[in-house]
Amino acid sequence: MASSEAVPTWEQVASDYGRTIYNFAYRLTGNRDDASDLAQEVLLRVRRGLAGYRPGSFEGWLWRITRNAFLDDVRKKQRRPTAELPDEDRSTIATAPAPEEVLAETRLSAEVQAALLSLPIEFREAVVMCDVVGLSYQEIAEAVEVPVGTVRSRIHRGRLLLRDALEGRV
Amino acid sequence: MHLGDSLSAFLDGELDTGARSDAESHLASCPLCRSELEAVSESSRMLKSLPVAEPPAHLVAPSNVRHLRPRRGRILVGAAAAAALIVGVGFGVNADRAVPLQLDEVVEQHVARASVDPGFNVLQVQAVVDR
Amino acid sequence: MILAVALTAISLLGTAPHADLVDDMGQAGDAEFTARQLVVCWGDDGAVARVSDIEQSDGMTRVAGPDGTFVIGDGKMIEQYAGGIRYLEMSPTSAWRLWDGYQMTTDPPDVASVLSSGRTVEVTEGGRIRARFVLDEQTGTPLSTQVYDGDGSLYRYSVMMEFRPGDADAMSDMDDMPDPEYRAAASAIDVPSVAGHYWAADSYAAPGGVQVFFTDGLFRFSVFEVSRKSDGGGLSDAPDVEIAGQSGYHRTYTPGAVSVFWRTADRAYVLVGDLPPDHLEAVLQDLPEPGRPNILKRAWRWAFG
Ligand SMILES: [Zn+2]
């Protein structure tokens, strides 16, 4: 959108996208500490890369960096995704007024997270970029460096796989 | 020919006008594609309703903790809606008579009135169910 | 399905007097069916979709949702949730009518019905498509509904994925009904009686303020006038958007409705309804506009009323 016009400063990127990058990382890794490290790494790479960045599709550029940082990390650690009960869900339990409802909701989101982690990486990142981050197919294609048609099929198959994974769990 | 991955593109508004109306016609006559659309829309809905994880302070400037991504901004709307369900804050027109306004009550009252109208339909009920 | 009936009946308008029309609508509104329905709405933030199981009998429609079960119809809204049953009832006196800016065509020759059985009704406005309904031949229930924005793009789409006429009980499990809460008539302060081509049919007391109900016979919305201190039940956290060149609106979509919250100099407003985006734009231009509090004006009002 408007981001294709000018080169943003690093502070702008951090403040505008920090939260979204963190959530992207969190849903891909299923782990708060990993998400925090990853988001930190992305912001570092953005800071290094901004000097060489030319106005174009900023979203595509940013998410390409984010996604590559994630893949590098996976390769480095040979990560085995963990499906722990997310921290922020615990804090919800502590403060919310209607325990049964919140618990049900928490269990559901933990199940969705676990199902998400069972998907192969290319499907997982496609559905997270689409449904959690809210990127368009074009933006995802630029980030992942594949044709839009491939993005479309990964999103669709990813959602079907997610459904299967959730049904297996229930 | 079934719609296959066009179904997700249809759901995400990623089809052009021609392809969209083709998809609609096909959907209207093909139960297989309808149930597949149902499956992917359910997955998508669940991902969209995942709670927003709060990043550590050093990753986000405090003034931007409430930042909403402009294009789709789904994550935070969900959080806001959840917050609204937990605490309904607000006051009556008479500020001294503090009556909380809750979005679900507002929607319910609208739909209750609308249901008297002969134009009432199930879409109105959807507004309540999916507030 | 009363809407379907309305449209069916309207398409017969040339031959039936108005009183018969209303009678017909009342009769066919009692259609019994169970169904599974998909609703997709394309708001400015992308699509929102929902699949629900629906049951209709005796003019009441039951839909099970994530927060509980709702039975709605004939001015009654019964919500069954973990904590019990909430029962709201409204009995307006204003008669339904359809805006004369709509034209109806039954089975338009250039539109092939996409469903094997059913009659297509097309609603146009100024020569442009506004809505298309495919109605079940027997019960008049809309098997498919399409609502279009002013630029001809699809705004909302619904389809009955399974539809079984007959044998429904919308009121099952509703045994221990509490007494209904009624809503008394009330007047808003700054809400006009006409907005866009919609007219204010009636208005009621509401939690925290006043509800003004607008309709054009096909779509409808309510404007809730509340205290400026209200956060619109959390809507003030929704994205801040510009509508018709005016900023300060917070808007969210569900498959069935759009909600908008804004604050004016003196009050706050929540608009909820199923109207399409171009209608919403026109409507908002006629309602009090977003603004900051005017301290002097408030002081004046406080001092002199
Ligand atoms: Zn098919």
| C24 and C156 both lie in a single domain | yes
Can you list the alpha helix ranges (DSSP code H) found in chain C? 2-11, 18-28, 277-286, 295-304
Q: Is B50 within 8 Å of A157 when comparing Cβ atoms?
A: no
| C60 and C192 both lie in a single domain | no
CA pair distance C158, C145, nearest whole angstrom: 5
CATH code, domain with C297: 3.30.200.100
For B47, the closest of A1, A21, A131 (CB atoms) is A131
| C129 and C243 both lie in a single domain | no
| Full DSSP string of A27-82 | HHH--HHHHHHHHHHHHHHHHHHHTT--SS-HHHHHHHHHHHHHHHHHHHHT----
**Binning pLDDT at 50, 70 and 90, where does residue C7 land?**
very low
Nearest CA in chain C to A108: C66
Contact by Cβ (8 Å): B64, B37: no
CATH code, domain with C124: 2.50.20.10
CA dist B87 to A104, A140, B64, C235, Å? 18, 36, 22, 12
| C137 and C193 both lie in a single domain | no
- Please indicate if any CB of chain A lies within 8 Å of the CB of B50: yes
* C174 found inside a domain: no
Say what the alpha-carbon torsion angle C281, C283, C288, C291 is, to the nearest 10 degrees: -10
> What pLDDT sits at residue C139?
76
Q: Is A152 within 8 Å of B46 when comparing Cβ atoms?
A: no
Probe site for chain B from C123, C202, C218, C227 (most B CB atoms < 10 A): C227
* C176 found inside a domain: no
How far is B112 from chain A, CA to nearest CA, in Å? 25
Q: What's the predicted TM-score (pTM) here?
A: 0.65
b/e burial code for range A142-161 (CB count within 10 A of at least 16 → b)? bbbeeebebbbbbbbbbbbb
pLDDT in tens, chain A (170 residues): 444 456 667 777 777 788 888 888 899 888 888 888 888 888 888 877 777 766 667 778 888 888 888 888 877 776 444 444 444 433 333 333 355 555 566 777 888 899 999 999 999 999 999 999 989 999 999 989 999 999 999 999 999 999 999 887 54
Least confident of B63-72, C143-152, C155-164: B63-72
Least confident of C60-64, C168-172, C222-226, C275-279: C168-172
For B113, the closest of C63, C92, C238 (CB atoms) is C92
CA of B123 to the centre of ligand 1 (A): 25
Domain boundaries, chain A: 4-169
Contact by Cβ (8 Å): B127, C274: yes
Instruction: Write out pLDDT tens, residues A50-66.
Output: 777 666 677 788 888 88
> What pLDDT sits at residue C109?
61
Q: Is B36 within 8 Å of A23 when comparing Cβ atoms?
A: no
Query: Residues whose CB is under 5 A from ligand 1 (ion)?
Result: B 2, 30, 32-33
* C158 found inside a domain: yes
* C178 found inside a domain: no
Higher pLDDT, A25 or C45: A25
> What pLDDT sits at residue C3?
43
Domain A4-169 falls under CATH 1.10.3210.10 = no
**Binning pLDDT at 50, 70 and 90, where does residue C291 land?**
confident
Chains adjacent to B (≥3 CB pairs closer than 8 angstroms): A, C
| C154 and C189 both lie in a single domain | no
Domain that residue C42 falls in: 2-165
Q: Any bridge partners for residue C63, and if so which? A: C54, C70
* C177 found inside a domain: no
| C54 and C140 both lie in a single domain | yes
HSE-up (13 A, CA, CB side) for residue C156:
25
> What's the complex ipTM?
0.85
HSE-up (13 A, CA, CB side) for residue C168:
24
CA pair distance C122, C104, nearest whole angstrom: 6
| C156 and C189 both lie in a single domain | no
How far is B117 from chain A, CA to nearest CA, in Å? 34
| C15 and C86 both lie in a single domain | yes
Number of H helices, E strands in chain C: 4, 20
Q: Is A101 within 8 Å of C82 when comparing Cβ atoms?
A: yes
Contact by Cβ (8 Å): C73, C55: no
Residues of A in contact with B56 (CB under 8 A): 36
CA of A159 to the centre of ligand 1 (A): 17
Higher pLDDT, B33 or C197: C197
Q: Is A18 within 8 Å of B59 when comparing Cβ atoms?
A: yes
Nearest CA in chain B to A96: B86
Say what the alpha-carbon torsion angle C77, C81, C83, C84 is, to the nearest 10 degrees: 50
> What pLDDT sits at residue C210?
92
**Binning pLDDT at 50, 70 and 90, where does residue C153 land?**
confident
Domain count for chain C:
2
HSE-up (13 A, CA, CB side) for residue C226:
30
Domain stops at, among C134, C165, C196 = C165
Highest mean pLDDT range out of A147-156, B60-69, C132-141?
A147-156
Q: Is the pLDDT of residue C162 over 80?
A: no
Q: Tokens 């199940």 identify what position?
A: A111
| C68 and C149 both lie in a single domain | yes
